[in-house]
Chains A and B, each alone.
Chain A
Amino acid sequence: MQNMNTQKQNGYMLLFRSDEWYEELSHDEIQKVISQNTDWIQGLIAQGKAKPGHALHRNGATVSGNNGRIVSDGPFAESKEVIGGFLLLDVETIAETIAIAQRSPTLAYGTSIEVRPVAEECPLDVRARELAREEELASA
């Protein structure tokens, strides 16, 4: 299990989650948040701490079930949990990542940011190795 204090070589991903909070704002307010947000991201890129991120359109599809037989609309734009964009950070610790996330200008409007360490290898692979070791020990 990953130790949160461990330094990560692979950086962190910020996932921006929100409902359509900006629908309530005036034109001037929205313009202000957008320029604050652009300045925040450009500042991080200039410091070499972020790679250019992407915003996502609020529509899309969800594929599930065996062979992807279920295709549904979604996510639903009005949900608070919809991911509206992401940013990849090239920083070494989760503490620094959290400190960066806390300066996001959109938080003031009730949004949230998920902070996730990017994995060096797939956690499933790590688990497969653990299982292999357990089996080896059991048969030793």
Chain B
Amino acid sequence: MSTQNQNQNGYMLLFRGTDLRKGLSLEELQKVTDNWMAWFKRLTDEGKAVAGSPLEREGKIVSGKDRVVSDGPFAESKEAIGGYFLLDVPAIDEAIAIAKECPGLPYGIRVEVRPVAAECPIAADIRAEAQFAQV
């Protein structure tokens, strides 16, 4: 799949690393959360953020053919997702520029920037293949 620099369907920001609160003083923690909320409010006011939520730190994982239920993700994992924003911006460059403003970055948070698909990309691939086969 080619990297799509333009995307009508917007972008998802996934905030990874949920353990930043460890080792922060009350003032620092308050500052980060206040900045984070102000950031989301500004993006919403600008019409650039259309949805977003924090996630509770615990959850479950359902996996595989046997549909096994296990605990996870683990809060201390650097990969754990702590929340998301959905952005209505047309280009990945703009989504990345917004991600760079995340107030959690100095505390080890990583922001994954992902293009939202208009439809399931697997279905789109199949249709493209079918069209190609007919030519």
Measured CB to CB, the residues of A under 8 A from B are 1-2, 4, 10, 13, 15, 22, 27, 30-31, 34, 37, 54-68, 71, 74-75, 77, 81, 83, 85-86, 94, 98, 101-102, 104, 107-108, 110-119, 121-125, 127-128, 131-132, 135
Interface size on B, residues (CB 8 A): 68
Given contacts A115-B59, A117-B59, contact A34 B126 (CB under 8 A): yes
* Chain B min CB distance to A60 (Å): 4
Is A98's CB under 8 angstroms from B115's CB?
no
Chain B interface secondary structure, helix, strand, loop or mixed? mixed
Complex Cα distance, B27 from A135, in Å, reads 12
Measured CB to CB, the residues of B under 8 A from A are 1, 3-4, 7, 9, 12, 14, 16, 18, 20-21, 25-26, 29-30, 32-33, 36-37, 53-65, 67, 69, 72-73, 79, 81-84, 86, 92, 96, 99-102, 105-106, 108-117, 119-123, 126, 129-130
Is A94's CB under 8 angstroms from B102's CB?
no
Given contacts A107-B67, A124-B21, A128-B26, contact A31 B100 (CB under 8 A): no
Given contacts A112-B62, A115-B62, contact A124 B56 (CB under 8 A): no
Option from B60, B64, B113, B116 in Cβ contact (under 8 Å) with A62: B113
Is B112's CB under 8 angstroms from A75's CB?
yes
Which residue of A1, A64, A112 has the most chain B CB atoms within 10 A of its CB atom?
A64
Is B55's CB under 8 angstroms from A61's CB?
no
Is B33's CB under 8 angstroms from A60's CB?
no
Is B115's CB under 8 angstroms from A102's CB?
no
Closest A residue, CB atoms, query B32: A124
Complex Cα distance, B55 from A115, in Å, reads 10
Is B120's CB under 8 angstroms from A98's CB?
no
Is B58's CB under 8 angstroms from A2's CB?
yes
Complex Cα distance, B59 from A94, in Å, reads 9
Complex Cα distance, B81 from A62, in Å, reads 13
Closest B residue, CB atoms, query A35: B123
Option from A55, A118, A121, A122 in Cβ contact (under 8 Å) with B117: A55
* Chain A min CB distance to B94 (Å): 12
**Residues of B with C-beta under 8 A to A114:** 59-61, 72-73, 81
Is A102's CB under 8 angstroms from B96's CB?
no
A-B contact list, 12 entries, CB within 8 Å: A57-B4, A57-B116, A59-B115, A62-B113, A63-B96, A83-B114, A102-B69, A104-B62, A114-B59, A116-B56, A119-B54, A119-B83
